[in-house]
Chains A and B, each alone.
Chain A
Amino acid sequence: AQSVAQPEDQVNVAEGNPLTVKCTYSVSGNPYLFWYVQYPNRGLQFLLKYITGDNLVKGSYGFEAEFNKSQTSFHLKKPSALVSDSALYFCAVRDAKAAGNKLTFGGGTRVLVKP
């Protein structure tokens, strides 16, 4: 079975400060890891993914994430947050050996960036 945990329901950060959204995962095989963002009244948008290779993955809108196999984590980071980054962020995992493209999502973390 595969699972994802996002331990923080909400993250508050001041504009210009670094932003981190935490994610830990559990899979039986190798993980494929993803971050999605949901803006109000809109669908999910892809931010970035880790499949293999460099542990530091760079994605859209200045976001990046670091894959840490020993800690089974895939935290999302942005060096300098913008007010427009306020949204709901979802981490997702898929077992590389699993059939289908079924992703398991975390519960989501609401990010609030204050001016």
Chain B
Amino acid sequence: DSGVTQTPKHLITATGQRVTLRCSPRSGDLSVYWYQQSLDQGLQFLIQYYNGEERAKGNILERFSAQQFPDLHSELNLSSLELGDSALYFCASSPSKWGGSLATNEKLFFGSGTQLSVL
């Protein structure tokens, strides 16, 4: 158990809808990362938050948004869903906002993912 909790585990919805994925990081971790894993794109970094602020942005669509709340949990909002958005969405956490040391905070701890199916 990584200590990162993602809910729900499975989500089935229709095109055009909006969903919210939730992530609770490990206790004490300030950074939360969102990744999308699809069959054709592999694992893609979406966005990182550190202590409530956006830290790094990857290949995140404008239809997607995220935020990190004062209690450090994070939500990924996906709107105007399309069939191609069907994927496994992972959340990860780490203590630091960036690497640069040899400490174990270079490691990311991943949740089990939310499987999103858009029908």
Contact = CB atoms under 8 A, between A and B. Distances in A.
A29 B48 CA distance: 21
B48 A96 contact: no
A100 B97 contact: yes
B5 to A, nearest CB: 10
A115 interface: no
Nearest to B33: A101
Interface string B12-44: 000000000000000000010101000000111
A46 B94 CA distance: 12
B99 A32 contact: yes
A49 interface: yes
Interface size class of B (residues with CB under 8 A): 20 to 34
B48 A105 contact: no
Indicate the size class of the contact surface on chain A.
Answer: 20 to 34
Interface in B46-99: 48, 50, 55-56, 58, 90, 92, 94, 96-99
A71 interface: no
Contacts of B94: 101
Q: Give the interface centre of A45, A51, A90, A102 by most chain B CB atoms within 10 Å.
A: A102
A99 B112 contact: no
B83 to A, nearest CB: 21
Name the residue among B2, B90, B99, B111 with the largest chain A CB count within 10 angstroms. B99
A35 to B, nearest CB: 11
Contacts of A32: 99, 106
